[in-house]
Chain A
Amino acid sequence: MQKISFPILILLSAIAVAVTFLFSLSMGNAAISVTQAVKDLLGHTESLQQTVVWEIRLPRVLLAVLVGATLGVAGAAMQGFLRNPLAEPGILGVSSGAALGAVIVLYFGLSAAAWYWLPFASILGALIALILVYLLAGFRSSVLSLILAGVAIQASALALISVALNFAPSLFAMQEIVFWLMGSLANRNINHVYVAAPFIIVGWILLFSRYRYLNALSLGEETAASLGFNPQRERNLLLTGLALCIGASVAVSGSIGFVGLVVPHLLRPLVGYHPGRLLIASAFGGALLVLGADILVRQLDIARELKLGVVTSLLGGPFFLMLILKTRSRWI
């Protein structure tokens, strides 16, 4: 069942992420040496290499890692929390809330006024969505009513996004919204990293700190409670962490689908179906997948950039279908 030991799996994943990270950093239209860029940075020399690598490529690659890892961890956390391998990070309406926040900013053209409006509105949207889910479901609610409330919030947010598209002030605004919703890491700068990273890292800490609870939850909420966990407290920390890191990810990348669903699903057998370990493995897996998809997007030499979210969905959809067909016998 478990062919490789967990530390080795994590070591290999970390190496793979590091290699892909460096490869992505050295890749681009301009033939530029990364080693030269590092030398110039350390030597405080202004050079073309330094500018391209540190100001254009690095933010994008860093965001790919942050967003990818977040989607992986959040997917693993949600699947563990809901005890369902088909759960994805957006199931409680958090991603749609974040997307709605961003769309409102784009609709009113506030993103032109100052770049930081969009990420902040997005994170705020995610948190508001979570609060609404809690208010709808009640603070001492069952998991099922949380999901129902999440679906309701998600549907409402998507409806409001459609309203914004319907009444978009101009074709340009509409295009901006649609492209943003598709999910991309193009044209991001280091400020995006600075805005998103603190929220993402706090979110990760909250999710990773629920390692033991997610394990105990394998046996159900009641048994987990009998094993010395306070389900209410654990849930609050877990969902707050989710809203923070997913909100911040959506804020800087738009909606990137399927990563949070496919990555934990794929890695689960490799960690012996251990929900806690899956969190860690999925962080690396998600980072690797988004880094790879972003490399693919940049490789394609076409007039209009293919959006990252489109690529992950194109890869993820059929792949997930295949997984379902393969494991169908277990569920039916």
Chain B
Amino acid sequence: MNALLFNSTLVIYAIATVLYLSCLVKTEPKVGRTAQLVLGVGFLVHIAYTVDRYFEAGHTPITNLHESLSFFSLATVGIYLFCEYRYKAYILGSFVTPLALLILAVAATFSGIIAPLNPALKSKWLTVHTVVAFLGYAAFAISFGVSIMYLIQSHFLKKRRLGPLFQKLPPLDLLDAISYRCLTFGFPLLTFAIISGAIWAETAWGTYWSWDPKETWSLITWFIYAALLHGRLTTGWRGRKAAMLSIVGFLIVIFTFLGVNLFLGGLHSYK
């Protein structure tokens, strides 16, 4: 049952991605609406999968790479659907759904077997710390997709190449605004995830901060996004510069998450 739900989600996301990508070449608004509907259905199935797993495992299912990536993907789609509803621009999906699909596909490569919970993770902090962290990551993921769109659109405008793709993509200022909104949403969550992690570390390991690779890289991520938001408020880092920084920030998020888990080891390594 659980595996079926997971595979169904994967297939539905794949269909939604194809539909969203075809929005880039097709003009009919029908395609966009269908894509939206399919993604919405996929999101519900994905929630069903996560809830089902929660009851089967008896704890929040964010304890290994498979589960974390799946939740990451779920959060990305959730926040994306909200953005699409809020900004009425389904073309954003052409750049976000492939990412959500990719994350879920990577999740599929890790074993989905429900294993007994690592004793170190048995804590009420598990839910709070991980859910908040991944919601933050998801917001950064959307900012990443939107920032890529910004760079493409800005390139078109500078080079005066105003082809069909240019016509399709949203105005620069809107992209900038969405990216900024996502960052202002994600940054407090990241901050809270780090603080809650520190408190949890104190109760579990007896120390708030132990310079474990994950902690170090999370701090780097935090500084990048802090610099980005600070720069925007003071000297006006917006537009291309902000977009590039947001892209770099997200790549470091991915490294913090996957790289640390797979290559650097440490306390946060859950294979």
Report whether chain A binds chain B: no
- Interface residues of B, Cβ cutoff 8 Å to A: none
Instruction: Give A residues with C-beta under 8 Å from B.
Output: none
